[in-house]
């Protein structure tokens, strides 16, 4: 276990995430401290610390707002439709219903956050898109 790893808080403090670290650096010995009942090397991390760790950019917030507006209009259109089930699930071949667009919005927003945390995954995702495009053209 490395310094700064997050361990479960089961049995210690149920509503906090516990981040264990060794003051001298190197290998983490906090699990040994936990077994002995010595909590001097364990510090709680609250929800505020997690939010400061993952800062949402202004562009991500704008994207989320635009998706919410689009999905809100689609939801109103689904309720006002004479065929609400078709509007919700979409056509068999196109898959263009509200549920489809909701899943696309969730995927794009979460993928944007994932790439902020791990930018090295962008190259792998691009290679996957190219391979998927090649397979789609050959089929």
Q: Quick one: tokens of 127?
A: 């290679």
At 15 the pLDDT is 39
Average pLDDT over residues 31-38: 50
Q: Inter-axis angle of helices 98-117 and 121-138, to 10 degrees?
A: 140
- Condensed to tens digits (0 to 9), the pLDDT of residues 89-116 reads 888 777 788 998 999 999 999 999 888 8
Full residue range of the structural domain in which residue 107 is found: 58-138
Average pLDDT, the chain: 74
CB 6 within 8 A of CB 19: yes
Q: From CA 67, how far away is CA 27, in angstroms rounded?
A: 44
- Domains in the chain, number: 2
Same domain assignment for residues 106 and 82? yes
Residues 130 and 67 both lie in one domain: yes
Residue 71 bridge partners (DSSP): none
Q: Looking at the structure, tell me whether residues 62 and 34 fall in a common domain.
A: no
Mean pLDDT for the stretch of residues 43-47: 54
Q: Identify the pLDDT of residue 120.
A: 92
**pLDDT at position 118:** 87
Q: Do 96 and 126 have their domain in common?
A: yes
User: 76 and 28 in one domain?
Assistant: no
Confidence of residue 75 (pLDDT cuts 50, 70, 90): very high
Residue 96 confidence (pLDDT): 83
The answer to whether the CB of 33 falls within 8 A of the CB of 1 is no
């Amino acid at each position: 276990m490395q310094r700064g790893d997050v361990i479960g808080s089961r049995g210690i403090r149920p509503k906090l995430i516990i981040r264990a670290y060794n003051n001298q650096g190197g290998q983490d010995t906090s699990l040994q401290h936990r077994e002995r009942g010595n909590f001097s090397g364990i510090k709680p991390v609250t929800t505020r610390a997690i939010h400061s760790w993952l800062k949402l950019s202004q562009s991500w917030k704008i994207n989320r707002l635009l998706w919410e507006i689009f999905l809100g209009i689609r939801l109103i259109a689904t309720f006002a439709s004479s065929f609400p089930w078709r509007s919700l699930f979409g056509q068999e071949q196109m898959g263009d219903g509200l549920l489809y667009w909701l899943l696309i919005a969730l995927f794009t927003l979460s993928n944007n956050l994932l790439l902020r945390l791990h930018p090295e995954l962008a190259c792998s995702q691009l290679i996957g898109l190219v391979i998927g495009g090649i397979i789609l053209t050959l089929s």
